[in-house]
A = this chain, B = another copy of it.
Amino acid sequence: MQTATASPRTGAEGVEVLLFDVFGTVVDWHGSIAREMAHDHPQVDGAAFARAWRAGYQPAMARVRSGELGWTRIDDLHRMILDGILPQFGLAHLDEAARAGLNRVWHRLDPWPDAVDGIRRLKGRALCCTLSNGNLGLLTRMAKRAGLPWDCILSAEVFRAYKPDPATYLGAAGVFDVPPERVMLVAAHHDDLAAARACGLRTAYVERPFEFGRDAPKDVAARPENDLHARDLLDLADQLGCPAAV
C-alpha cells in the first residue's frame, strides 16, 4: 500500500506534465491585434475589433462540436469570423490577400512579458506543452516567432476535438502515458480549468486581468477549486520551486 497514492493531492506534487492554454494565457491576443490594427488601419477601433473577432470564437467552435460544421481548423474559423465582422468596421473593401494576411495575425501574437522566461523555468520541473484549440501550424509559427520554448505542441487538431471536450485533456495525458492526476492544465479561463478538473487533471489559474484590454479588466479573484493560483508564469515557476535562470 502506497501512502503517497492515498494522501490528498496538494498543489503540483507529482505533476509530470504542464499543459498550457495559449490564447490569453500565454499570448496577448487582444493587445497584439489592437496594435496591428492601429498600425495598418488607424481609422478602426482596434480594441473593439479584437474583441469582436474573439467573440466569434466560441460560437464558431460550437458549430464544429455540434456537427453543423465538419472538422475545421481555427485558421479557417478565424477567417469565417473575420469575413463576418469586416463590414461592421468599414473594412468590407479588403481583398483576398489583405484578408489572408490579416487572418495570420493569430500566428504572430505577442507573448505576455513573463511567458518565455516562465516556460523556460517551468521546463526544469515538468514537460511543458501547449493544449490549445489553435491549430498546429498556427501554434508552431507563433512559438517560433515569439521564442516560446515548448517541449511539444499539442492542439485540438491532434485529437480532432475542441476543448472543453474530454478527448483533449485525456488525449494529452495519454500522449505522455501518465494518469490525469499527474497532468496540470495552466489557463486563464475557469471554464477550461473546470473541464480539465472533471477529467481528473490538476489546475493552475493564471491571472490575466487585461486579457480583453486595459479598458475592460476582468475578475481574476482566486477560486478554491483550483490547485494553484498564480499572478503570472514567473509566479507559477516560483510556486513550483523552479529556480530563476542563471
Contacts and interface: CB of A to CB of B under 8 A. Distances in A.
Please tell me the size bucket of the interface on A. 20 to 34
B153 A152 contact: yes
Interface string A198-237: 0000000000000000000000000000000000000000
Given A175-B137, A176-B137, A127 B151 contact: no
Contact of A127 (B129, B140, B158): B140
Contacts of A151: 140, 143-144
A139 B157 CA distance: 18
A165 interface: no
Interface string A122-135: 01000101000001
Contacts of A129: 140
Q: Copy number of this protein in the oligomer?
A: 2
A154 to B, nearest CB: 8
Interface string A27-39: 0000000000000
Contacts of A135: 175
Nearest to A75: B177
A102 to B, nearest CB: 16
Contacts of A177: 75, 137
A172 to B, nearest CB: 10
Contact of A152 (B127, B136, B175, B176): B136
Interface string A142-174: 011000000111100110000000000000000
Interface of A: 75, 123, 127, 129, 135-137, 139-141, 143-144, 151-154, 157-158, 175-177
The 5 lowest CB-CB distance pairs between A and B, nearest first, are A140-B152, A137-B176, A136-B175, A152-B153, A137-B175
